Amino acid sequence: MEGIAYLETPVGELEIRSRGDFITTVGFLKERKEPEQETPLTEQCRQELAEYFAGSRKFFTVPLEADGTDFQQRVWNALLEIPYGKTISYAELATRLGNLKAIRAVGLANGQNPIAIIIPCHRVIGQDGSLVGYGGGLDNKQWLLKHEGALADQLNLF
């Protein structure tokens, strides 16, 4: 059974898709909506995401199944190990996977993550601390990291 649901969030509307017993997609809505086909799993995912955005959830429990190559699966599994409120660099992520020279491939796989927010690709930043690359937009990446307490609010003097 396939399901589809939508959730309005502070970072825009999200599309949630399920197949069988797994969430397969959480993406930023960019195209016209299809009719919702709610399932217990899409409802659970929508609830967990709503709790995350409300600040009451730091861990997700919905079962995930992201379609991708073996390498992409390794990268996405490594992303799941980045704790809430923490960031790592692309170089550190490549090192964790055992190959610093694969930094570009890691960045590409990170950018192809089909389950945004739950598989926290937004927690990967540039080695110099800069916010680089995010399919949902850098403003949303910044919002998510601030929401998690990974970025301190800067005092604007000007």
Domain ranges of the chain: 2-54, 70-147
pLDDT score at 31: 81
pLDDT score at 154: 38
For the beta carbon of residue 68, count every other beta carbon within 10 angstroms: 14
* Both tokens assigned to 43: 């409802």
* DSSP per-residue codes, 86-144: --EEHHHHHHHTT-GGGHHHHHHHHHT-SBTTTS-GGGEE-TTS-----TT-HHHHHHH
**Location of structure tokens 């649901």:** 5
Cβ-in-10-Å burial (0-12, 13-18, 19+) of 95 comes to middle
- Kindly report the pTM of this predicted structure: 0.91
Alpha-carbon span 100 to 33, nearest angstrom: 40
pLDDT digits (tens, 9 = 90+) for 62-71: 999 999 999 9
pLDDT score at 152: 61
Task: Confirm whether 45 is a catalytic residue.
Answer: no
**pLDDT < 50 regions, the chain:** 153-158
CATH of 70-147, one of 1.10.10.10, 3.90.660.10, 3.40.47.10, 3.30.565.10: 1.10.10.10
The catalytically annotated residue of 41, 119, 121, 145 is: 121
